[in-house]
Amino acid sequence: MGSIDVAALLRTAVRSAEMILEITPADRADLESEEVVQAALAQSLIIIGDVSSDLPASFRETHDCLPWADLMALRDRLRHRYWETTADLLWSAAQEIPRLLPEIRSVLVEVELRR
């Protein structure tokens, strides 16, 4: 198996986080009736969790500015307990993205500068 392209993984997480920001309605009540948006939010959050899981454990440990374990746990919940996914859960997770995205970008810049 080849080496892991950490920068590519982080770029994927950045794009998924940006998509969450683009599609999340401004008002929580609007999310309730938007099933397609809910599905897109869930998929984007799953992708961010997959990226977190695919990163080497040593990388996650040295870049502990991000809640990798929480992101993976959310991914597992959305993927394996999908019947428990609610608009409230998705809204809550989406509200964390404005805080997380700059951190992901910062880590990506650090990785790209080391290349």
Spans of all domains in the chain:
6-110
pLDDT for 3 equals: 83
24/22 Cα distance (integer angstroms) = 6
73/105 Cα distance (integer angstroms) = 21
Is 2's pLDDT higher than 90? Answer: no
- In terms of Cβ atoms closer than 10 Å to its own Cβ (0-12, 13-18, 19+), residue 40 is middle
What's the CA angle centered on 42, arms 40 and 45, to 5 degrees?
110
58-71: pLDDT as tens digits? 999 999 999 999 99
Is 1's pLDDT higher than 50? Answer: no
Query: Do 41 and 16 meet the contact criterion of CB atoms below 8 Å apart?
Result: no
